[in-house]
Homo-oligomer: A and B are copies of this chain.
Amino acid sequence: KINGDRLWDRLMEIAQIGGTPNGGVCRLTLSEEDKKGRLLFEDWCKGLGCSIRVDAMGNLFATYPGKDPYLPTLLLGSHLDSQPTGGKYDGVMGVLAGLEVIHTLHDQNYVPDRNIVVASWTNEEGARFTPAMIGSGVFSETFSLDYAYQQKDKEGITLHDALNSIGYKGTDSVKPNEFQYALELHIEQGPILEREEKQIGIVTGVQGIRWYDIHISGKECHAGPTPMDYRIDPMQSVPLLLTELYKISEVFGEDARITIGYIDASPAVKNTVPEKASISLDIRHPNEDQLTKMHEFVLSVIQTIDKESKSSIELEEIWHSESVVFDDNCVHAVQQASETLGYPHRRIISGAGHDSVYTSKVIPTSMIFIPCKDGLSHNELESAKKEDVIAGTNVLLHASLQLQHK
C-alpha cells in the first residue's frame, strides 16, 4: 500500500504554486508557476534516483529504473497545468500518484522488472493554447510539432515561444514504442461516482469532443447616430444563434453536452457596434455517430442563420477528439485491483478529455477515476477526499504491478 500522508502532503504543497485566495490553483501551462511546479516534481523524482527527459513539446518524463532497461515500459502520469480558476486535483493528482507508486516501490527496495515512467504532459487543459491535450497529441503523432508550435494564447504568444520562455523546449526524443501500457489516475470531474457512492471508476472510454469558433462579421459603427436598420450588427445574430444551438440538449438528449465558454467581440467598446464577434463552442457525446449528427445540426443552424441574418456567419472547426474505447487488458487490471483492494467501484465513461485519449492511440491505455465533491471541476472549489485519493493511488499501484508482469 502507498503512503497516503506523503502523497497528500505533496498535493497540498504543490497546490501552493499558483494557489489562489479562494483555495484554487492558477498554474497555466508554460507560465512561471508551471515552471515552479515542474521543478518541484523533478526534485521529488530525482530523490528516488529517476532520470528526467524533456521532449520538444515540454512533456516531462521521469524514469524509475527497472531490472531490464530494454523491456517496454509502463507509463503513468497526467498533467501539472491547471485552468485559470482551477482546483488542486485536476491533473496534478495523477502525476503525484505516479510518483507515489514508484516511491512506494523504492520504500520496499523493490526493483520492478521493467522501467516505470511518470509523465507530465504539456497543455492538457487547453485553457491557454488550443486544443487541449496537445502535448500528448504530438507525442501520439495526432498533431505535428509545427502545428503545435504555432498555436497562440490570447496575448498572441506562440506555444513555441512560451516553451522557450520557461526553458522547457527539450531535446530528448521519447517515442511511443518504448512503452507497453499506460495508466492515468484522475478525478471524475462529474457527479456519477459521488452520487452512487463508488470510490473507484473503472474508465472504459472517453466521449467524443468537437470544438469550434463561430465567426460573425458585421460593420463597425457608432452606437448613437446610426439608425437601427442601417446596422450590420454581429451581436444581433447572437440571440438567435444561441437559442438554436442550445436546442442540441433537447434534440440529442441527456448524453449530449453543449458549452459556450465565451463570446469575443471586437473592438469591444460600449458605444460601438462591433465589427465582429466570435463564439466558442464545445459539443460532446459518448457515441461518435450521435456526435456526427450534432455536428451536422450545428452546420445547419449556422447555414440557416447566415442566410437569414445581415451579418455573415462562418463555422471554423478547431478540434475533434473522437470517442475512445480503452484497452481491455488495462481496464481488466484496474477492475482486478479494485476488487482485490475491496473498493466500491463501477465502470464509467469519461466526460472530459484526458492525455490518455492520445496515449491510447499508440499504447494500450486506461484510466482510474475517483469522486470529487459535488462533481465539481474547473472551479476553485474542486475538492476530493484524502481517502479517495489514497484508494485511487492504491488501485494505480496494484494495476501497475499486474501490468508489469504481462
Contacts and interface: CB of A to CB of B under 8 A. Distances in A.
Interface of A: 83-85, 125-127, 130, 132, 188-192, 207, 209, 211, 219-230, 233, 235-236, 238-243, 246, 249, 254, 256-265, 267-275, 280, 282, 284, 350-353, 375-380
B127 A378 contact: no
B227 A254 contact: yes
B265 A270 contact: no
A221 B377 contact: yes
A135 to B, nearest CB: 16
Contacts of A227: 190-191, 254
A254 B284 CA distance: 42
Contact of A222 (B190, B246, B263, B275): B190
B228 A207 contact: no
A160 B383 CA distance: 41
Interface of A is mostly: loop
6 A-B pairs closest in CB distance:
A190-B225, A225-B351, A223-B259, A239-B242, A224-B351, A262-B268
Tell me which of A233, A282, A350 has the highest count of chain B C-beta atoms within 10 A of its own C-beta.
A282
A265 B261 contact: yes
A222 B270 contact: no
Contacts of A272: 83, 85, 127, 259, 261, 378
Contact of A352 (B188, B224, B256, B263): B224
Given A261-B273, A261-B274, A272-B83, A235 B226 contact: no
Given A259-B272, A261-B270, 14 more contacts: A83-B267, A83-B272, A191-B225, A222-B352, A226-B257, A228-B257, A235-B261, A236-B246, A239-B241, A239-B242, A261-B271, A262-B265, A270-B280, A275-B379
B127 A271 contact: yes
B221 A379 contact: yes
A272 B26 CA distance: 14
A261 B263 CA distance: 11
A245 to B, nearest CB: 9
A284 B224 contact: yes
B222 A378 contact: yes
B274 A282 contact: no
Contact of A270 (B257, B282, B352): B282
A230 B191 CA distance: 9
Given A83-B272, A269-B262, A223 B127 contact: no
B261 A269 contact: yes
B83 A126 contact: no
A341 to B, nearest CB: 24
Given A246-B236, A257-B224, A282 B275 contact: no
Given A238-B242, A239-B239, A239-B242, A271 B378 contact: yes
15 contacts: A83-B267, A84-B269, A127-B269, A132-B271, A219-B379, A220-B378, A221-B378, A222-B351, A229-B254, A238-B238, A238-B239, A261-B268, A264-B268, A270-B282, A271-B282
A379 B219 CA distance: 8
A74 to B, nearest CB: 27
Contact of A209 (B84, B224, B274): B224
Tell me which of A225, A350, A352 has the highest count of chain B C-beta atoms within 10 A of its own C-beta.
A225
Nearest to A192: B225
Given A239-B239, A243-B239, A222 B189 contact: yes
A81 B126 CA distance: 38
A342 to B, nearest CB: 26
